[in-house]
Amino acid sequence: MSPIQTARYVATIAESEADVRAAQALRYMVFRDAGDMSQNLDADVFDKICTHVLIREVKTGKLTCCFRILPLSNGSEIGHSYSAQFYELSALSDFQGSMVELGRFCIHPDHNDPDILRVAWGAMTRYVDDNNIEMLFGCSSFKGTDSDTYTDSFAMLKDRHLAPRRWLPRVKAPAVFRFAQILRWRKPDAKLAMSRMPPLLRTYLLMGGWVSDHAVVDNHMDTLHVFTGLEIKSIPAARKRLLRAVAQ
């Protein structure tokens, strides 16, 4: 993938061990207690098989955002993904198109410029188009493990954004919050729900993404996360045009 640049930010692929370590250091800052405590790095075995995307400030070179991508030829390889550690994904093994897992997405806590997320999605769009990807998936995380904080967000996911039955992930992790069942009678406050929705997940949903019917309680990462899927053909045409405008 060639660099994607706006006036303020540039997205590139990591080309060296130093680039990967910079991403791991940012991830550690965001995720805190995950990874190698001795080196202040968030690192795992998937880093070696993933492509890492870095988004830096043009003016200062400061790393503001990173994520990693793992391509799969089709659903038969879904068991090799990071997400498969936490979700039973056999339903997706029948997916015939090429897939990519987007993981460890994080933005520097001192930077809340929405253009960072736009550039990140521009980079992902470029990758999807260049490689004929048909499904994007991953884990979308809520900070902390107190589900009560996000009751309205989970109720909205239950009402509007559950995965199609044919792709629905099943429970695998030992600790989960079965929000679709527990909140089946809860009607969400839409404004509150969206205000507490993680930015990455909010963007998935705007593009037609869907989620699992339960959240995994990940005490190691201090998050609640839902499996998130997005079939590229389902993205509205107007949204695709906006994404491709950034990706050019």
34 pLDDT higher than 70 = no
**pLDDT recorded at residue 5:** 84
Quote the pLDDT of residue 197: 96
Distance CA 215, CA 223 (A): 10
- Within 13 A of 136's CA, how many CA atoms are on the CB side? 27
Phi and psi at residue 241, in whole multiples of 5°? -65, -40
pLDDT in tens, 155-199: 999 999 999 999 999 999 999 999 999 999 999 999 999 999 999
Buried b (16+ CB within 10 A) or exposed e, 33-53: ebbeeeeebbbeebbeebebb
Residue 76 sits at φ, ψ, to 5 deg, of -65, -20
**Buried residues in 182-206 as b, exposed as e (16+ CB within 10 A):** ebeeeebeeeebeebbbebbbbbbe
Beta strand 99-107 pairing with 135-143: parallel
- Which domains, ranges and CATH numbers included, belong to the chain? 4-247 (3.40.630.30)
pLDDT at position 33 over 60: no
What pLDDT, on a 0 to 100 scale, did the predictor assign at position 38?
52
pLDDT at residue number 106? 93
Split at pLDDT 50, 70, 90, the class of 135 is very high
> What φ, ψ does residue 122 adopt, rounded to 5°?
-60, -45
Q: pLDDT-derived band of residue 35, with 50, 70 and 90 as boundaries?
A: very low
pLDDT, tens digit (0-9, with 9 covering 90-100), for 59-99: 999 999 999 999 999 999 999 999 999 999 999 999 999 99
| Distance of alpha carbon 176 from alpha carbon 220, whole angstroms | 14
